[in-house]
Amino acid sequence: MLGNLKFARLGAIAATAIMITAGSAANATPFSMLGGALNPIDNLTPTTVTIIGAGSDLITDLNIFINLEDSAASLVGPNTLWNDMTMALEHNGTTVVLNQGDVLKDGLFIVTFDDAALTNISAVVDDAVGSLRPDDAVGDLLSAFNGHSLAGNWNLTFTDVTGAFFGETALIHWNISGDAVAPTTAVPEPGTLALFGLGLAGLGFARRRKVA
Summarised one tens digit per residue, pLDDT across range 75-123 is 455 667 788 889 999 999 999 999 998 876 678 999 999 999 999 999 9
Is residue 43 predicted with pLDDT exceeding 70?
Answer: yes
| Residue 54 belongs to domain with CATH number | 2.60.120.260
Domain that holds residue 12: 1-23+186-212
Judgement on whether residues 13 and 94 belong to the same structural domain of the protein: no
**Do 64 and 74 sit in the same domain of this protein?**
yes
Q: How far apart are the C-alpha atoms of 126 and 61, rounded to whole Å?
A: 28
pLDDT in the model for residue 66: 97
55 shares its domain with 122? yes
The amino acid sitting at 24 is S
89 and 163 share one domain: yes
Number of structural domains found in the chain:
2
86 and 33 in one domain? yes
Q: Are 10 and 40 part of one and the same domain?
A: no
Assess whether 105 and 141 both reside in one domain.
yes
pTM: 0.75
Calculate the CA dihedral of residues 98, 104, 107, 112 and round it to 10 degrees: 0
How far lies 79's CA from each of 100, 110, 166, 192, in Å? 19, 10, 15, 61
Considering the domain architecture, whether residues 54 and 71 belong to the same structural domain is answered as yes
Asked if residue 67 and residue 5 are part of one domain, the reply reads no
Contact 53, 34 (CB under 8 A): no
